[in-house]
Amino acid sequence: MTVIARFEVRHSQFLDEHGEIAAPLPEFARDPQNLIALYRWMVLMRAYDAKAIALQRTGQLGTFASLLGQEAVNAGVGSAMAEDDVFLMTYRENGVQMMRGVTIKELFLYWGGDERGSAFLTPRRDFPICITIAAHVTHAVGAAYAMKLRREPRVAVCALGDGATSKGDFHEGLNAAGAWTLPVVFVVTNNQWAISVPRGTQSAARTLAQKAIAAGIEGLQVDGNDVIAVRHAMDQALAKARGGGGPTLIEALTYRLSDHTTADDATRYRNPDEVAEAWKNEPLQRLRTHLTACGAWDKGKEDALLKHCNEKVQAAAQAYLDIPAPAPEQIFDHLYATLPAALQKQRAEALGE
Amino acid sequence: MAQITLVEAVNLALKREMGNDPSVVVLGQDVGIDGGVFRATLGLIERFGRERVIDTPLAEALIAGMSIGMAVEGLKPVAEIQFAGFAYTTLDQMLNHAGRMRHRTQGRLSCPMVLRTPCGAGIHAPEHHSESPEAMFAQIPGIRVVYPSSPRRAYGLLLAAIRDPDPVVFLEPTRLYRLFKEEVEDDGNAFALDTCFTVRDGTDVTLVSWGAMVHDTLAAADDLIEQGIAAEVIDVATLKPLDMDTILASVARTGRCVIVSEAARTCSFASEIAASLAEEGLLTLLAPVQRITGYDVVVPLPRLEKHYLPSKRRIIGAAKKALEFS
């Protein structure tokens, strides 16, 4: 017998869980100002997350999926993408969305059960949040195909979770992206839990990154709590895709510190010791430790930032709460470019209520 | 003007629109080099190249899903699913995404795609090659469902489907692909996507059908006229949105209606039309509305499929029964 193929999956980390430099920093990370910019976004995400949960708990927001613990993945992805790239997301990427121009008010509007939350004008061509798991992997393939056909130096970035890698749409999409060398980057946020099913139970694969290898595309793993590692992997994958080098899958290892959503109670299935352990590894304090060690950050700056972020999300929440519910006929508007006559009767029926 | 078959009319419309509009792309299994398993896409790859005529991997959910991605990004994809029986995995994409994209984003994005699939029984095909799932698609908000029954209507309706700014499911009656020819002028004129076609005038009974069964319904009408019964035949053609006005106006004249469809009866599109007649046309009816449909069974394999498809005899019998009421 002859070995005809051999594969390896590389893991990268620049800042370890103690905030110590584990590998020579990439160029962008040598300037603390760049890292401070990322840190400011991550703190804003956390403030937003806490406000969203508070709104939900007080009956002012619908079911909300927290991104607590996943701020570094969000910031790494959001900061690396170009404005005219296209982002296809699931429901735990609100951080990327806000970095790309979606307002916090619009995000609250979305979770508040209002379609106008997906009508954001910036970024105009980003897809709406995809709730059905992995369906949007195939959308990303189509979007990337269009970009390649038109010879545009744009990239489709598709964010999904560990649970999505068990689905057929994921494999169908990856396979096609590889076959056509499409400009697409898949970011698998492996937060270790598909609601109540832990990563080890979901798949016998040693890594989720290796699922890309079967599709003939590069799969790599990064420490998803190290924003530098996420950003660096994204920079490289985006440059490769833009240059015609085809797709990449990045598995970002992180941890879902929250319940699956506000409708979930993770204590039913998750050991609190595991969560406590994961908190020691969360992404904000790691970056803060590094920035403090660089002399670029201190308690005064931290307090000012927290105050700023809390005021910002508070103002956004108030702006969201001040928006009246849409008119009833909105349920018919935009269903078709022109509402068919058959539906106009139903619209009139709804208006007569 | 050329005499062409229905599948040639599909091909003609695809060629026409790919030539008109560089954003139109064709994708699916074997649509390129092979020209499609029914040759509906024959010659497209030679004329428009492999970037616009895309042989996809064997993955129906991908075909539907990537069409959505393409459409949102500004292309006009026309996807082919080889048989309607393989189209069920596309329901998720059509229902959860294609039909919702415009509304979900309040008009920020849209999804102008066409999902074509050969449809229906009567060609002695293997299992899963004979289904007629129009009612499942017609349930989906935000999409259109079209089911032509002649070469000319296939041409005009497919052009309309491709040009439509919203997703369209385009069901092609496999049994009619090569059954007869019709003169089709390649004039680029599209038909409206919300209008039934009255394909035969009559005063005694209205026969409503779509897809391949229109052909059998017309044959039944031929026999009926010899027996002194003038049947009006309506080809619904666009099931969603449904032009109920044309059907109601006809039934108001005839007072009688038989709905002919090869799909299974329960929760069928025939049931939808019958329900609308009951709601809006009851006072014009002289006889109960009848549904002559496929039975609520698995579409049989070829040896028994003729017992499944509504026969001319059943259609004639229903029309005569309707005339027993006065």
Test B51 with A149 for CB contact under 8 angstroms.
yes
Mutate to test the interface with A, among B66, B164, B193, B196 (most CBs of A within 10 A): B66
Catalytic residue (one of B128, B129, B215, B307): B129
Contact A230, A77 (CB under 8 A): yes
- Mean pLDDT over B284-288 rounds to 98
A335/B108 touch (CB, cutoff 8 Å), yes or no: no
Domain match, B90 and B211 both: no
Query: In whole angstroms, what is the distance from residue A211 CA to residue A191 CA?
Result: 17
Looking at the structure, tell me whether residues B129 and B205 fall in a common domain: no
CA of A88: which chain B residue's CA is closest? B69
Tokens of A201: 């139970």
Residue A353 has pLDDT above 80, yes or no: no
* Residues B24 and B123 placed together within one structural domain of the fold: yes
Question: The domain that contains B242 carries what CATH number?
Answer: 3.40.50.920
Whether B28 has its CB under 8 Å from any CB of chain A: the answer is: no
In a domain, B70, yes or no: yes
B65 and B168: one domain? yes
* Minimal CA separation from A336 to chain B, in Å: 6
> Does residue A353 sit in helix, strand or coil?
coil
CB contact under 8 A, B104 and A175: no
Residue A269 is among the residues annotated as catalytic for this protein: yes
Minimum distance, in Å, between the CA of residue B242 and any CA atom of chain A: 7
Query: pTM above 0.90?
Result: yes
Q: Using an 8 Å CB-CB cutoff, list chain B residues near A124.
A: 108
Cβ pair B106:A119 closer than 8 A: yes
Helix, strand, coil shares of chain B as percentages rounded to 5? 40, 20, 40
Do the chains contact at A144 and B93, CB–CB below 8 Å?
A: no
Q: Are residues B169 and B205 in the same domain?
A: no
List of domains in chain A: 11-322 (3.40.50.970), 328-353 (no CATH)
Query: What is the maximum span of chain B, computed from C-alpha positions, in angstroms?
Result: 62
Residue A297 · residue A42 · CB < 8 Å: no
Distances (CA, A) of A297 to A284, A305, B10, B215, B266: 13, 11, 67, 79, 69
Give the model's pLDDT for residue A352. 84
Residue ranges making up the domain that contains B265: 197-324
Identify the domain boundary among B153, B184, B215.
Answer: B184
**B100 CA to centre of own chain:** 21
User: DSSP per residue over B42-65, as a string?
Assistant: TTHHHHH-TTTEEE--S-HHHHHH
Last residue of a domain, one of B184, B218, B240: B184
Q: Distance (Å, rounded) from C-alpha B93 to C-alpha B287? A: 41
pLDDT at res. B98: 98
Residues of A in contact with B74 (CB under 8 A): 146
Cα angle value B66/B69/B72 (rounded, 5°) = 150
End-to-end CA, chain A: 75
Q: What is the DSSP string of A14-51?
A: SB-TTS-B-SPPPGGGGSHHHHHHHHHHHHHHHHHHHH
Q: How far is CA A209 from the centre of its chain?
A: 17
Is residue B146 included in any domain, yes or no? Answer: yes
Same domain, yes or no: B23 and B167: yes
Is B129 assigned a catalytic role?
yes
* Average pLDDT over all residues of chain A: 97
Residue B168 in contact with residue B144, Cβ under 8 Å? yes
Task: Note whether B153 and B239 are same-domain residues.
Answer: no
Are residues A336 and B166, on separate chains, in Cβ contact within 8 Å? yes
For the record, the structure tokens of A141 come out as 């393939």
**What is the rounded CA–CA span in Å between residue A248 and residue A237?**
6
C-beta atoms surrounding A81 within 10 Å: 21
Residue B312 has pLDDT above 80, yes or no: yes
In a shared domain, residues B116 and B10: yes
CATH code assigned at B28: 3.40.50.970
Structural domains of chain B, count? 2
Q: Is the pLDDT of residue A178 over 80?
A: yes
Same domain? For B148 and B73 the reply is yes
pLDDT over 80 at A147, yes or no: yes
SS3 A136: helix
Residue B6 and residue B152 in one domain? yes
Is residue B189 situated within a structural domain? no
Round to whole Å and give the CA distance between A286 and A298: 14
Which of B158, B184, B210 is the last residue before a domain boundary? B184
What integer pLDDT is reported at residue A46 of this predicted model? Answer: 98
Residues A272-300: what's their mean pLDDT?
A: 97
In a domain, B119, yes or no: yes
Tell me which of A231, A260, A286, A290 is the catalytic residue: A260
**B190 occurs within a structural domain:** no
Q: Name the residue type at position B47.
A: R
- Angle, CA of B263, B275 and A348, to the nearest 5°: 120
**Rounded average pLDDT over B237-265:** 98
Yes or no: say if B210 and B237 are a contact pair by the CB < 8 Å rule: yes
Which pLDDT does position B136 carry in this prediction?
A: 97
B239 shares its domain with B137: no
pLDDT value, residue A150: 98
Which amino acid appears at position A225 of this protein?
Answer: N
Helix (H) or strand (E) holding A223: strand A218-223
Does any CB of chain A come closer than 8 Å to the CB of residue B108? yes
Q: Count of residues for chain B?
A: 326
Question: Which residues of chain A are within 8 Å of residue B241 when distances are taken between CB atoms?
Answer: 340-343
Looking at residue B326, what is its pLDDT?
77
Q: Do residues A133 and A90 lie in contact, with contact meaning Cβ atoms separated by under 8 Å?
A: yes
**Does residue B104 sit in the same domain as residue B220?**
no
B192 located within any domain: no
pLDDT of residue A3: 97
B147-169 mean pLDDT: 98
Smallest Cα distance from B165 to chain A, Å = 6
Tens digit of pLDDT for each residue in A215-228? 999 999 999 999 99
Residue-averaged pLDDT of chain B:
97
